[in-house]
A and B are shown apart, each in its own frame.
Chain A
Amino acid sequence: MSLYAAPRLLPAGDAAVSVELADEISREANARVLTLERLLLDGRVPGIVETLPTFRALLVTYDPLVLSWERLRAVVDALAPRLARAPAPPGRHLELPCAYGGEYGPDLEEVARRLGLAPADVIRLHASADHYVYFIGFTPGLPYMSGQPLELTIPRLDRPRTKTPAGSVGIGGTQTSIYSVESPGGFWVLGRTPLKLYDPGAADPILLRAGDHVRFRPIDGTEFRAIAQAVAAGAYRPRVDALESP
């Protein structure tokens, strides 16, 4: 497990390349990925069509009729020395309301039992953590987050659920995720946020960004329903603190 001395460019067909910067999941590796993405986008390199950051790699989609493989490699190599020194791109701090347990968090009791904790402790540990968003992926707007206390580490469900409601907040391994649309899933569902992580009708349909920090605020069912109504009416904005300065 390490950070690479030089980027590895792995061909991903004729129009994409996976630029791998490490073989580990770490904030440092992810900061390099997000920095590389920002530098490529700031550089407005003609022929770069799309960038997709993940834990330790950036998938760069390009138009080979505009940008040759050699040229793309040269651009990435030229940026590489700046990745190690660059500070992590600034992220936002968001507070997301979350109703834990009961109908919203059907797995809370079982998670508490398996971890040897009281349900209230699981909630306290989960809601006190700074959950860092490594990237958005899988389904539209779904965040891959970690940062929760290691006491909450738990293997994923043996048998994934076929349906998990949108907004479900789940844990698995050392990660937390939030289901952005109703979908199958292997995470233990501790609670649910009434916010929409993905709202196809909104001007900006995706709530979270790679590099954001999320904190969950425990709410009860009454508040859940009130916020859900406000969200449906377009009258609710989550609390977003100023950008973290680099």
Chain B
Amino acid sequence: MDRGAFVLANRLVGNEDGAAGLEMTLKGPGLEVRRDAVLAATGAEMGLTINMREAPVWTAVRVRAGDVVAFRAATAGCRGYLAVAGGLDVPTMLGSCATYLRGRLGGVGGRALQKGDVLAVRLARPDGVPPPERAVPPERRPRYPAEVECRVVLGPQADHFTEEGIRAFVEGPYEVTPQADRMGYRLKGPVIEHARGHDIISDGIPLGGIQVPGEGQPIVLLVDRQTTGGYTKIATVIGPDIARIGQTRPGQRIRFRKVTVEQAHAALAEEVRRLDEATPH
């Protein structure tokens, strides 16, 4: 849900950007280390303790067999990430090592982790593990404000809405409702008016696609979304800003800002640069 924080956790421990790690929503697990390892915690502010002692986040830290690693409930942000040098040893399915709960796919039996699970770690490349204490500079760590702004490209079905409907949508703000997970976020705010019907011939749903069903409230579809659907999509959240939604929780507010496809591509290039600059060498 926050690709940038996930990628930086991997880079801190010398992994490929897509190596398997943990995503922790609002709270994290307590983990007993079975084998010496290097790990890094990034994302939502949920601390990191090793044997009850505070350890640095956004930093590669060494842990020893027998250590207990734990997190507290997130005080800002919603998704924390934990990467281990070498990456978690989970199967690659349909080209991904992500867990997809609704399809019971990937990860550990396609389910959320449970007490007692043992996570295997792949051997890190001999030259791969960087020295511990490498850190993302504090000024390059993201902040998680109470109200977030997300850039959107209008379409694919913006022409199904009235001018007032589009204006209501970009003026907002919209509040995150409790119906918010990796599949999608239902939002609540100004009603978005359709010009002609809210149903379309079912088509594909892109990452960040914003569906508006008949009652005029938007649903942002995220990483575990259904692949197709028959509701009008007013706009699409741009890739670099998916994380801003992923880091919000129910009750927080989102404002949408309209950008062109060209501006969105420039923002993506900027995001790649931002991550490279945040990566310690």
Chain A residues lying within 8 Å of B272, measured Cβ to Cβ, are 65
**Chief secondary structure at chain A's binding surface:** loop
Query: Taking the complex as formed, is B102 at the interface, i.e. its CB lies under 8 A from any CB of chain A?
Result: yes
**B201 engages A14 (CB within 8 Å):** no
Q: Which of A16, A65, A140 interacts with B103 by CB under 8 Å? A: A140
Interface-facing stretch out of A5-13, A75-83, A96-104, A106-114? A5-13
Interchain nearest-CB distance for A18 vs B (Å): 4
Interchain nearest-CB distance for B95 vs A (Å): 9
- State which residues 162-216 of B face A: CB under 8 Å: 201-209
A139 to B154, alpha carbons, bound, how many Å?
A: 26
**B204 engages A54 (CB within 8 Å):** yes
**A138 engages B268 (CB within 8 Å):** no
Query: Taking the complex as formed, is B227 at the interface, i.e. its CB lies under 8 A from any CB of chain A?
Result: yes
Interchain nearest-CB distance for A37 vs B (Å): 11
**A11 engages B269 (CB within 8 Å):** no
Chain B residues lying within 8 Å of A64, measured Cβ to Cβ, are 264-265, 268
Q: Which of B204, B206, B262, B267 has the largest count of A CB atoms less than 10 A from its CB?
A: B204
Chain A residues lying within 8 Å of B228, measured Cβ to Cβ, are 52, 54, 135, 137-138, 144
Query: Taking the complex as formed, is A154 at the interface, i.e. its CB lies under 8 A from any CB of chain B?
Result: no
Interface residues, chain A, with chain B CB atoms under 8 Å away: 10-16, 18, 20, 23-25, 52-59, 61, 64-65, 68-69, 135-140, 144, 181, 198, 200, 205
Chain B residues lying within 8 Å of A16, measured Cβ to Cβ, are 204, 206-207, 236
Interchain nearest-CB distance for A28 vs B (Å): 14
**B156 engages A11 (CB within 8 Å):** yes
A55 to B152, alpha carbons, bound, how many Å?
A: 26
Given known A52-B227, A69-B265, contact A13–B237 (CB-CB < 8 A): yes
A20 to B200, alpha carbons, bound, how many Å?
A: 12
Query: Taking the complex as formed, is B93 at the interface, i.e. its CB lies under 8 A from any CB of chain A?
Result: yes
With both beta carbons as reference points, the residue of chain B lying nearest to A22 in the complex is identified as: B201
A15 to B264, alpha carbons, bound, how many Å?
A: 9
Interchain nearest-CB distance for A166 vs B (Å): 11
The 3 A-B residue pairs with the shortest CB-CB distance in the complex, in nearest-first order: A59-B204, A13-B236, A137-B228
Query: Taking the complex as formed, is B120 at the interface, i.e. its CB lies under 8 A from any CB of chain A?
Result: no
- State which residues 17-39 of B face A: CB under 8 Å: none
Interchain nearest-CB distance for A199 vs B (Å): 10
Chain B residues lying within 8 Å of A23, measured Cβ to Cβ, are 201
**A59 engages B203 (CB within 8 Å):** yes
Chain B residues lying within 8 Å of A69, measured Cβ to Cβ, are 261-262, 265
Query: Taking the complex as formed, is B57 at the interface, i.e. its CB lies under 8 A from any CB of chain A?
Result: no
**A12 engages B155 (CB within 8 Å):** yes
A161 to B164, alpha carbons, bound, how many Å?
A: 35
A25 to B200, alpha carbons, bound, how many Å?
A: 11
A61 to B268, alpha carbons, bound, how many Å?
A: 15
A136 to B227, alpha carbons, bound, how many Å?
A: 9
Interchain nearest-CB distance for A202 vs B (Å): 10
With both beta carbons as reference points, the residue of chain B lying nearest to A135 in the complex is identified as: B228
Given known A64-B265, A200-B93, A200-B110, contact A13–B105 (CB-CB < 8 A): no
With both beta carbons as reference points, the residue of chain B lying nearest to A69 in the complex is identified as: B261
Query: Taking the complex as formed, is B229 at the interface, i.e. its CB lies under 8 A from any CB of chain A?
Result: yes
**A61 engages B227 (CB within 8 Å):** no
Q: Can you report 5 residue pairs joining A to B where beta carbons are below 8 Å apart?
A: A12-B155, A18-B204, A138-B229, A144-B202, A200-B110
A209 to B137, alpha carbons, bound, how many Å?
A: 48
Given known A15-B206, A140-B103, A200-B105, contact A65–B268 (CB-CB < 8 A): yes
